[in-house]
Chains A and B, each alone.
Chain A
Amino acid sequence: MLTLLSMFYYICLRRRSRSGTRGEALHSRRAVESGQRAALPVSPEVEQYAKEVLDFSSHYGSENSMSYTMWNLAGVPNVYPSSGDFTQTAVFRAYGTWWEQCASAPPRFCRTPPGFHSQDYIELAYEEPVYPTAVEVLETYYPGAIVQIQACSLNPFSQNTPSDVRWEVLWSSEPTKVLTPQARQFSPAIKQISFPTNLLRLEVNSSLQQYYTELDAVILRGVRDRPILTLYKRPVIDVGDLSDSDEELADMAAACRYGSDEGPPHATGNGHFDRLPYELIQLILSHLTLRDLCRLAQSCKLLHQHCCDPLQYTQLSLQPYWARLSDASLGHLQSRCALLQRLNLSWTGNRGTLTPSGFTSFIKVCGSSLVCLELSCCHFLSEACLEVVSQSCPGLQELNLSSCDRLHPLAFTHVSKLTRLRRLVLYRTKIEQTAILSILTFCIELRHLNLGSCVRIDDYDVVASMLSARCRSLRSVDLWRCRNLTERGLAELVSGCRTLEELDLGWCPTLQSSSGCFQHLARKLPRLRKLFLTANRSVCDADLEALADNCPSLQHLDILGTRMVSPPALKKLLQSCPKLLLLDVSFCSQVDNRNVQELSALFPKVAIKKSFTQ
């Protein structure tokens, strides 16, 4: 009788813990917590500001500056509670959907898990590991971009490297639209974790933001002693773990125990599944996320055959699983990826989970049909990795090495062997002059090139000259913060690359409008769709006139920070460019808020941006 009752209780509890929603469970947990808290003595709470910024995917500012760069997120806040576009905040490179609308944006990978929305990330280290009770983010401009906060069990300041590095999600949400750009203190309800942490990771999605989101500081509140409440066992919600061998066994056992309706695993009959055509099952499976696909593979022989079919793995995005992806996982997937065409390994290899040898052995087996390879923020990459890529992926057309700033400059010489390259992203890498010239000599099919914030390139005029000579089909080039491009280089570029549609010349200080370079540009590029002249203080009315007269397809224009543009010239531009969608006139001193309101009323389809500091 007793055993029956206890079994009954056990089954009920397990069922409740399985079916309870996360929000519900959190609420019930909080109720318990608050009840308990009254009874037990509370250990003192420690409040810390970030000590150091360890890693991040992008930022707006210049590499050796403290203006609008990610390093501002460490330490005490400089701006909060003021709102506005200040230099002392941390700003990411992009916002909204403007960059996704460009031709240079890569097509999305399929099978993205519905809970994964992150576009950028930043990792912060604190002085002392604590059990976190609260994380407060001080956002000072267009808040609301944070979609995930995670904590790591590793102490980045300790000398010994533990074998098991765990990342736990403290809080996660879909991107939400916040209506006002005003500063706010964002403190979501975080989950209790079972280990002390001094390494936080914030993931950000700015696609719903009206302008650049800016962060000032991140406060970590926690207790030194392990709270007794964590004795309450809760199913840990993982970010998405890929089945490696241990979990496969566990899952297989689970699958067997709870039974599958697909029939016994021997050769005679799989029930209705035998009636379905092979391609139809394949089509159904193509909608599953990668995790579910791996788990489904353990259910029965037929589905195992389907799930391991290389046709299911022509596109593989492992970015959502960056925290857990290891050499073993890659090895496990190797057998299924013979027909792999598009591979996304961005953000993976965090803290040694992936090594160059694991990566190279995977690429050697699966790289022959590879067309697109995304390796953004892959800090495990070495020169040998790029060498193997250049040898094993002869048909590679897209390569993204954005923010691989630990990659040695010599590694980029191997990229010139990929002669079929069409899209190359080298944002924030340490590529040097000889390597980029070598790449441009051989990769003549380049359509999209991103050399933003490449500080080690000595002479951009020579680079522009080489582009115009060799890469005649160039459609977009991003030269954000290229420090010494002059009107000579620009003139050669626009003369040689007549199909250019997108040109980002933001923060290039050496381009002077008085040389006529922008008017020349407008006349030479009738197909121009995107032009960023951010913080080029010499842009004037004559340049806008030239654009109005010659570039009817213009969609995105950024002329931030010039004193020489007047509202009538803007009006003429808006009239002549009916396809214009984005116009950034922030800090243009002749254009005030009233002008912007009037123009917005006349041209409602155009998003006219005017940033403010107070």
Chain B
Amino acid sequence: MLSVLSYGRLVARAIIGGLSQAESRDFSLVTASCGFGKDVRREEERMRGRGEEERRKMTSYGDDACFTARHSSADVLGVADGVGGWRDYGVDPSQFSGTLMKTCERLVKEGRFIPSHPVGLLTSSYYELLQNKVPLLGGSTACIVVLDRQSRRLHTANLGDSGFLVVRGGEVVHRSDEQTHYFNAPFQLSIAPPGSEGAVLSDSPDAAGSTSFDVLLGDIIVTASDGLFDNMPDYMILQELTKLKGSSYESIQQTARSLAEQAHILAYDPNYMSPFALLACDHGLDVRGGKPDDITVLLSIVAEFTD
């Protein structure tokens, strides 16, 4: 009798102990990225001679750039869409977005950021771009997603028309707000040549919209440039995500790739009524088909933190 009670107590303690441990375990993001640049020929040049491993670690697709980084308290990822219009003025748009994302990555790795304040990360990164001896020019949108591991909250900052979706149980529970000045002119961080500041759209990092919310295990976060969202409506994205099995890196990588590929195919379909085409029609423009654009997809799953 007594032994049963003591045994029971032990078992109860073990169960409660196990539960409370699960309560206090940190979350983390398992992230995979994939993308396609718009200029197929240029991208083939770049991909030539790169092995599979290298392709996985790529951080830029066309004029888009992305990064993922870990710090002791947070997992951070970001995407930046370089504004293509700068090419007409002899400026390579991928330089600005690439440097912006690399600087964000470095700031995260060195801990020079506050997880609950991703707009601060964007501001610091933009400031660091101005501290470079090299005279950078160009502009890009930016979307930063930070998971605070211990508090299990997701903090986001979005400037422009890139963005993110949070999918839980097959439904979109959070999404970013698109910021545009007018049709096809998103909010953007930019550095203009001196004298042309008035002619160029240049938004302050403070103009970024930011949100914070709790996440649960198994939440899926899709962070992407407008190349994805302009070519694939929500239901198609959700359909692709149902194919995601488990939270292993390989399956996430596979799903990210299929999302990007599908968007890429749809972009060049001349008859398909893409979200971009639908929006253009709303503005009175007679447009059909997809929107050829650089596509970058970062797919993340909220999982338990393992070192």
Residues of A within 8 A of B (CB): 61-62, 65-68, 75, 78, 85, 87-88, 507, 509, 512-514, 535, 537-538, 560-564, 586-587, 589, 611, 613
Q: How far is the CB of A78 from chain B (nearest CB, A)?
A: 8
Name, among B107, B110, B127, B134, the residue most crowded by chain A CB atoms within 10 Å (CB to CB): B134
Whether B135 and A66, one on each chain, are in contact in the complex, defined by CB atoms closer than 8 angstroms, is no
Q: How far is the CB of A558 from chain B (nearest CB, A)?
A: 11
Closest A residue by C-beta to B110? A66
Contact of B135 among A513, A514, A537, A611 (CB under 8 A): A537
Whether B133 and A561, one on each chain, are in contact in the complex, defined by CB atoms closer than 8 angstroms, is yes
Whether B133 and A66, one on each chain, are in contact in the complex, defined by CB atoms closer than 8 angstroms, is no
In the complex, whether B206 has a CB less than 8 A from a CB of chain A is no
Near A by CB (< 8 A), chain B positions 49-74 give none
Whether B133 and A611, one on each chain, are in contact in the complex, defined by CB atoms closer than 8 angstroms, is yes
Q: Residues of A contacting B134 with CB < 8 Å?
A: 561, 587, 613
Closest A residue by C-beta to B109? A75
Name, among A88, A537, A586, A587, the residue most crowded by chain B CB atoms within 10 Å (CB to CB): A537
Q: How far is the CB of A218 from chain B (nearest CB, A)?
A: 17
Say yes or no: A62-B110 contact (C-beta < 8 A), given A514-B195, A538-B195: no
Near A by CB (< 8 A), chain B positions 122-148 give 127-128, 130-135, 137
Nearest 4 Cβ contacts at the A-B interface = A538-B194, A67-B131, A561-B135, A65-B131
Q: Residues of A contacting B131 with CB < 8 Å?
A: 61-62, 65, 67-68, 87, 507
In the complex, whether B106 has a CB less than 8 A from a CB of chain A is yes
Whether A88 and B106, one on each chain, are in contact in the complex, defined by CB atoms closer than 8 angstroms, is yes
Chain B residues bordering chain A, tally (CB within 8 A): 16
In the complex, whether B112 has a CB less than 8 A from a CB of chain A is yes
Whether B194 and A87, one on each chain, are in contact in the complex, defined by CB atoms closer than 8 angstroms, is no
Closest B residue by C-beta to A535? B133
In the complex, whether B193 has a CB less than 8 A from a CB of chain A is yes
Q: How far is the CB of A591 from chain B (nearest CB, A)?
A: 12
Could you tell me the distance between the alpha carbons of A61 and B193 in the complex, rounded to whole angstroms?
22
Instruction: Kindly list 4 other residue pairs between chains A and B, CB separation below 8 angstroms, not including A66-B106, A87-B132.
Output: A66-B107, A66-B128, A78-B106, A512-B195
Whether B133 and A560, one on each chain, are in contact in the complex, defined by CB atoms closer than 8 angstroms, is yes
Near A by CB (< 8 A), chain B positions 167-182 give none
Closest B residue by C-beta to A514? B195
Q: Residues of A contacting B133 with CB < 8 Å?
A: 68, 85, 87, 535, 560-561, 586-587, 611
Q: Residues of A contacting B107 with CB < 8 Å?
A: 66
Q: Residues of A contacting B106 with CB < 8 Å?
A: 66, 78, 88
Q: How far is the CB of A79 from chain B (nearest CB, A)?
A: 12
Near A by CB (< 8 A), chain B positions 233-267 give none
Whether B112 and A562, one on each chain, are in contact in the complex, defined by CB atoms closer than 8 angstroms, is no
Could you tell me the distance between the alpha carbons of A502 and B74 in the complex, rounded to whole angstroms?
48
Q: Residues of A contacting B112 with CB < 8 Å?
A: 66
Q: Residues of B contacting A85 with CB < 8 Å?
A: 133
Whether B132 and A564, one on each chain, are in contact in the complex, defined by CB atoms closer than 8 angstroms, is no
Could you tell me the distance between the alpha carbons of A564 and B194 in the complex, rounded to whole angstroms?
9
Q: Residues of B contacting A538 with CB < 8 Å?
A: 194-195
Q: How far is the CB of A75 from chain B (nearest CB, A)?
A: 7
Could you tell me the distance between the alpha carbons of A611 and B134 in the complex, rounded to whole angstroms?
10
Whether A537 and B194, one on each chain, are in contact in the complex, defined by CB atoms closer than 8 angstroms, is yes
Whether A87 and B128, one on each chain, are in contact in the complex, defined by CB atoms closer than 8 angstroms, is yes
Q: Residues of A contacting B130 with CB < 8 Å?
A: 509
Name, among B106, B131, B194, the residue most crowded by chain A CB atoms within 10 Å (CB to CB): B131
Could you tell me the distance between the alpha carbons of A66 and B108 in the complex, rounded to whole angstroms?
12
Near A by CB (< 8 A), chain B positions 78-117 give 106-107, 110, 112
Could you tell me the distance between the alpha carbons of A238 and B144 in the complex, rounded to whole angstroms?
54
Q: Residues of B contacting A67 with CB < 8 Å?
A: 128, 131-132
Query: Can you offer 8 A-B residue contacts whose CB atoms are under 8 A?
Result: A66-B107, A67-B132, A68-B133, A87-B132, A561-B135, A563-B137, A587-B135, A613-B134
Could you tell me the distance between the alpha carbons of A537 and B133 in the complex, rounded to whole angstroms?
10
Could you tell me the distance between the alpha carbons of A611 and B132 in the complex, rounded to whole angstroms?
13
Could you tell me the distance between the alpha carbons of A62 and B131 in the complex, rounded to whole angstroms?
8
Q: Residues of B contacting A75 with CB < 8 Å?
A: 110
Could you tell me the distance between the alpha carbons of A85 and B106 in the complex, rounded to whole angstroms?
17
Could you tell me the distance between the alpha carbons of A31 and B137 in the complex, rounded to whole angstroms?
58
Q: Residues of B contacting A611 with CB < 8 Å?
A: 133
Could you tell me the distance between the alpha carbons of A75 and B110 in the complex, rounded to whole angstroms?
9
Could you tell me the distance between the alpha carbons of A514 and B132 in the complex, rounded to whole angstroms?
22
Could you tell me the distance between the alpha carbons of A273 and B134 in the complex, rounded to whole angstroms?
66
Whether B128 and A514, one on each chain, are in contact in the complex, defined by CB atoms closer than 8 angstroms, is no
Name, among A67, A562, A563, A587, the residue most crowded by chain B CB atoms within 10 Å (CB to CB): A67
Near A by CB (< 8 A), chain B positions 160-218 give 193-195
Q: Residues of A contacting B137 with CB < 8 Å?
A: 563
Could you tell me the distance between the alpha carbons of A65 and B133 in the complex, rounded to whole angstroms?
13
Could you tell me the distance between the alpha carbons of A586 and B132 in the complex, rounded to whole angstroms?
12
Could you tell me the distance between the alpha carbons of A587 and B132 in the complex, rounded to whole angstroms?
10
Could you tell me the distance between the alpha carbons of A10 and B107 in the complex, rounded to whole angstroms?
61
Q: How far is the CB of A446 from chain B (nearest CB, A)?
A: 30
Q: How far is the CB of B239 from chain A (nearest CB, A)?
A: 42
Whether A562 and B128, one on each chain, are in contact in the complex, defined by CB atoms closer than 8 angstroms, is no
Contact of A563 among B110, B127, B135 (CB under 8 A): B135
Could you tell me the distance between the alpha carbons of A560 and B135 in the complex, rounded to whole angstroms?
9
Could you tell me the distance between the alpha carbons of A85 and B110 in the complex, rounded to whole angstroms?
20
Could you tell me the distance between the alpha carbons of A394 and B128 in the complex, rounded to whole angstroms?
44
Whether A65 and B127, one on each chain, are in contact in the complex, defined by CB atoms closer than 8 angstroms, is yes
Q: Residues of B contacting A589 with CB < 8 Å?
A: 135
Could you tell me the distance between the alpha carbons of A63 and B65 in the complex, rounded to whole angstroms?
28
Say yes or no: A562-B195 contact (C-beta < 8 A), given A66-B106, A66-B107, A88-B106: no
Q: How far is the CB of B124 from chain A (nearest CB, A)?
A: 8
Q: Residues of B contacting A62 with CB < 8 Å?
A: 131
Say yes or no: A562-B110 contact (C-beta < 8 A), given A65-B127, A513-B194, A538-B194: no
Could you tell me the distance between the alpha carbons of A67 and B125 in the complex, rounded to whole angstroms?
11
Q: How far is the CB of B210 from chain A (nearest CB, A)?
A: 21
Could you tell me the distance between the alpha carbons of A78 and B110 in the complex, rounded to whole angstroms?
12
Could you tell me the distance between the alpha carbons of A67 and B194 in the complex, rounded to whole angstroms?
22
Name, among A62, A66, A512, the residue most crowded by chain B CB atoms within 10 Å (CB to CB): A66
Q: Residues of A contacting B127 with CB < 8 Å?
A: 65
Whether A512 and B110, one on each chain, are in contact in the complex, defined by CB atoms closer than 8 angstroms, is no
Contact of B128 among A65, A563, A564 (CB under 8 A): A65
Closest A residue by C-beta to B112? A66
Q: How far is the CB of A449 from chain B (nearest CB, A)?
A: 24
Closest A residue by C-beta to B130? A509
Q: Residues of A contacting B194 with CB < 8 Å?
A: 512-514, 537-538, 564
Q: Residues of B contacting A561 with CB < 8 Å?
A: 133-135
